[in-house]
Amino acid sequence: MKRQGRSLFKRVFPETTDYSSEVAAVIGAGGVAAIPTETSYGLAVDPHNQKALERLFSLKNRPPAKPVLVLVENSEFLSRLVSHTPANYIPLIKRYWPGPLTLIFPALPDLPKLLTAGTGTIGIRVSSNRIATEICRKAGGAITATSANLSGHAPARSADEVFDIFKDAIDIVVDGPVLSTAPCSTIVGQKDDQLTLIRKGMIPFNKLRSLY
């Protein structure tokens, strides 16, 4: 049911047949969308659009030294963002994508520096949330997935919480289900060809290492 009195930004509902096309059009035009993922609501922009990224950082009050995570439709889209896929990521991708596992890849050198924070790396996952994946597909295969919050604060778990945080500062929100207070995605990188835990999350690190 549509909520009353909270309409400063446009809401779309997953029950409508064209919601994903509408959200993807906003992202493609340089706008900011709030969408549900398997962990929390996230802010989605075109990861190749410098102005959209600048707006995203401003909205979140996010330090430019912090990179932004990206969702891809599936692993076939990695080649548009990463220089190569480390061999020890392949078992993780096969087992845990789609899912709440973010992997840190070596980034293509021409990606916006705001996206990578100048690290030369980029965090990517394939979402297990149907809404997020559908929007990602319609938007060309890749969107940002930074949590819908002000930097340092808890992420939004519902469209109403997105409104409370951002009011009319974003363009469109998918009014999906209220999400549980589950942990964020697990973030894993590598050093000296060994897996390293960067952030604890929904998938325990020892469970990931058990694949080897």
User: Is residue 35 a part of any domain in this protein?
Assistant: yes
Which of 84, 83, 85 lies closest to 108 in space, CA to CA?
83
Q: What is the pLDDT of residue 182?
A: 79
pLDDT for residue 1? 36
Q: Answer whether residue 148 shows pLDDT above 70.
A: yes
- Residue-level length of the chain: 212
So what's the pLDDT on residue 58?
A: 97
Give the chain's end-to-end CA distance (angstroms, integer). 47
Give domain status of residue 38, yes or no.
yes
Average pLDDT, rounded, for the chain: 93
pLDDT of amino acid 2: 42
Whether 2 is covered by a domain: the verdict is no
Task: State residue 6's pLDDT score.
Answer: 46
CATH classification at residue 67:
3.90.870.10
Domain range for residue 64? 10-209
Any domain includes 5: no
- The band of 4, judged by pLDDT with boundaries at 50, 70 and 90, is very low
Residue 3 clears pLDDT 50, i.e. is over it: no
Q: What percent of the chain has pLDDT over 90?
A: 87
Is the residue at 173 inside a domain? yes
Q: Hey, what are 175's tokens?
A: 């009014």
Which residue shows structure tokens 């340092």? Answer: 152
Q: Is residue 200 part of a domain?
A: yes
The number of distinct structural domains making up the chain is 1
Phi and psi, residue 69, nearest 5°:
-75, 155
Residue 107 is classified by DSSP as B
Query: CB–CB of 43/57 below 8 Å?
Result: no
Residue type for 189, please? G
Q: Does residue 4 belong to any structural domain of this protein?
A: no
Can you tell me the mean pLDDT for 178-204? 93
Does the pLDDT at position 209 exceed 70?
Answer: yes
**Beta bridge pairs of residue 82:** 107
Helices and strands (H, E) in the chain, number of each type = 7, 11
50 within domain boundaries: yes
CA distance 116 to 31: 20
Q: Quick one: pLDDT band at residue 180, thresholds 50, 70, 90?
A: confident
